[in-house]
């Protein structure tokens, strides 16, 4: 029986639960609205994950977690061993760059990052191909799905809440003019600083996320925190999007037009007073 | 005939429809539906598209009041409603602190849609559980220069006072 459907009707948590309970082996592909993802399973355990065009190679994974510099990752890509993660892993361990545990931990973290991202997908055609294995050159790490489902569901609820708080990622941010809001008195982590460095009414939240390769959940979480702290406020992006038809245009008014507008407001005031 | 528009927004059940009904010279055109969500079953029906009230100023000028739908799943309407508005009122149910965070979020979204003057109405001040406006200001983290006005949406004088303060703000901005 093919395992095919849409996440709209059968969400990621239910899908993973089914794979776990049925101890399935195979590859699940999901075609989301903007990108695709695939996860491989062996006897109900998650062993491999990839999303979009992200490079699933060991060099990329180690660079992402900071075990390799950009330059080292680039240099490794040019070596023949880079084509095979197992060969590359051995080379790195033998050269003393990383330990085996660090490699396995990094891959596990990468797989989990991808899996948790998929919990925020509410739409996407999925297809489970039984017995299809991940590419042979990749290192697989078996991960029990029970904890993944619990943590993923928690993140899904958080994502839903954050989406309600911050429904529109096409808005921009600007620093508040409040005199008591000063960045120097605030402790921000690295991810928050990355976002802060892009805050400008010209950049939409979506663009900031893209520039920092952050997913919707992460960018919403950070922006929500900055909004709650009163450091930033939402604004319509400058120049980026079309002006709303009929929206008040901020072009300078002539003195006559100004007087006319004032007269209109004064009329409204008189009328409301007389109600 | 010239028409101008003001928007009344705020969380679900904050009193937007009542606010408009109290001053509108026509029966408010309501687009209400029975509540579907269990969590929101504190009243029988809610606004899903918009409320629409009217105040005729003279033969040449009419003020329209638009109420936004209170449930977030209809927030796609907000941007449409905010087009061309003179200013907006953010209604907050002072007796339901669980809605304050959403009120703040709605306020920020509307400010981003249109940089027009606005006031915040601390509604249901006649409710025994209502928070005092000065406490609400802190809860909503409003700047001291933002007008936060006590309001009872069923009382015409109270609604008039809110609308007048909004108009004074609009006038002040024109003079600035």
Residues of A in contact with B56 (CB under 8 A): 271
In contact, B6 and B87? CB cutoff 8 Å: yes
Q: Is the pTM of this model over 0.90?
A: no
The structural domain count of chain B equals: 1
Q: How many CB atoms lie within 10 A of CB A38?
A: 19
The minimum CA-CA distance between B67 and chain A, rounded to whole Å, is: 18
How many angstroms separate the Cα of B149 from the Cα of each of A16, A265, A270, B110, B127? 51, 20, 20, 18, 15
Is residue B33 scored above 60 in pLDDT?
A: no
The minimum CA-CA distance between A45 and chain B, rounded to whole Å, is 36
Task: Please work out, in degrees rounded to the nearest 5, the angle formed at the alpha carbon of residue B32 by the alpha carbons of B31 and B33.
Answer: 135
How far apart CA A86 and CA B88 sit, in angstroms, is 62
> Euclidean distance between the first and final Cα of chain A, in Å?
71
Strands (E), A135-254: 172-175, 232-235
Other C-beta atoms lying within 10 Å of the C-beta of residue B118 = 22
Over the stretch A153-197, which tens digit does the pLDDT of each residue have? 988 888 888 887 887 888 999 887 764 545 555 677 788 888 888
Q: Cα(A99)–Cα(A75) distance, rounded to whole angstroms?
A: 19
Nearest CA in chain B to A179: B143
Mean pLDDT computed over every residue of chain B:
85
Residue A52 to chain B, least CA–CA distance (Å): 28
For B24, the closest chain A residue by CA position comes to A275
Listed by start position, the domains of chain A span: 3-158, 172-235
Supply the range of the domain harboring residue B19.
2-175
- Chain A residues with CB under 8 Å of B143 CB are 178
pLDDT score, position A124: 92
Scanning A56-95, the segments in alpha helix (DSSP H) are 58-64, 70-77, 85-94
Q: What is the CATH number of the domain that holds B104?
A: 3.40.50.300
Give mean pLDDT, residues B5-19. Answer: 92
Instruction: Write out the two tokens for A82.
Output: 């880079």
Complex ipTM tops 0.95: no
CB atoms within 10 A of CB B3: 11
């Amino acid at each position: 029986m093919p395992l095919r459907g849409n996440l709209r009707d059968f969400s990621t948590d239910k899908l993973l639960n089914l794979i776990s309970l049925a101890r399935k082996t195979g590859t699940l592909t999901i075609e989301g609205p903007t990108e695709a993802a695939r996860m491989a399973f062996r006897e109900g355990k998650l062993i491999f994950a990839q999303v979009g065009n992200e490079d699933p190679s060991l060099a990329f994974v180690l660079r992402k977690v900071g075990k390799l510099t950009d330059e080292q990752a680039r240099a490794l890509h040019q070596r023949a061993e880079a084509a095979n993660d197992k060969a590359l892993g051995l080379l790195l361990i033998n050269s003393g760059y990383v330990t085996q545990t660090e490699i396995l931990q990094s891959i596990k973290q990468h797989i989990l990052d991808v899996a948790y991202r998929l919990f925020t997908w509410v739409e996407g055609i999925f297809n489970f191909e039984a017995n299809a294995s991940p590419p042979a050159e990749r290192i697989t790490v078996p991960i029990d799905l029970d904890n993944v489902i619990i943590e993923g569901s928690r993140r899904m609820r958080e994502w839903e809440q954050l989406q309600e708080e911050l429904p529109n990622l096409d808005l921009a941010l600007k620093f508040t003019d409040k005199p008591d809001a000063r960045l120097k008195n605030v402790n921000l982590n690295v991810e928050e600083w990355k976002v802060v460095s892009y805050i400008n009414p010209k950049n939409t939240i979506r663009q900031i996320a893209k520039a920092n390769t952050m997913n919707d959940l992460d960018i919403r979480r950070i922006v929500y925190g900055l909004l709650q702290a009163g450091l930033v406020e939402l604004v319509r992006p400058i120049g980026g999007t079309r002006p709303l038809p009929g929206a008040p245009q901020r072009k300078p008014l002539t003195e006559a037009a100004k007087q006319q507008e004032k007269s209109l407001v004064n009329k409204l005031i008189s009328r409301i007073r007389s109600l | 005939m010239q028409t101008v528009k003001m928007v009344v927004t705020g969380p679900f059940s904050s009193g937007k429809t009542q606010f408009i009904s109290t001053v509108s010279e026509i029966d408010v055109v309501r687009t209400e539906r029975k509540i579907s969500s269990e969590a929101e079953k504190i009243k029988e029906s809610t606004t899903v598209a918009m409320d629409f009230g009217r105040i005729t100023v003279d033969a040449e000028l009419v003020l329209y009041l638009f109420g936004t739908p209170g449930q977030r799943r209809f927030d796609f309407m907000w941007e449409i409603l905010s087009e061309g508005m003179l200013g907006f009122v953010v209604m907050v149910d002072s007796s339901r602190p669980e809605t304050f965070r959403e009120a703040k979020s709605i306020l920020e979204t509307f400010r981003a849609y249109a940089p027009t003057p606005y006031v915040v109405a601390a509604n249901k001040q006649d409710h025994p559980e209502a928070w005092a406006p000065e406490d609400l200001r802190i809860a909503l983290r409003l700047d001291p220069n933002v007008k936060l006005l006590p309001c009872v949406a069923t009382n015409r004088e109270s609604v008039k006072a809110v609308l007048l303060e909004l108009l004074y703000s609009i006038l002040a901005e024109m003079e600035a």
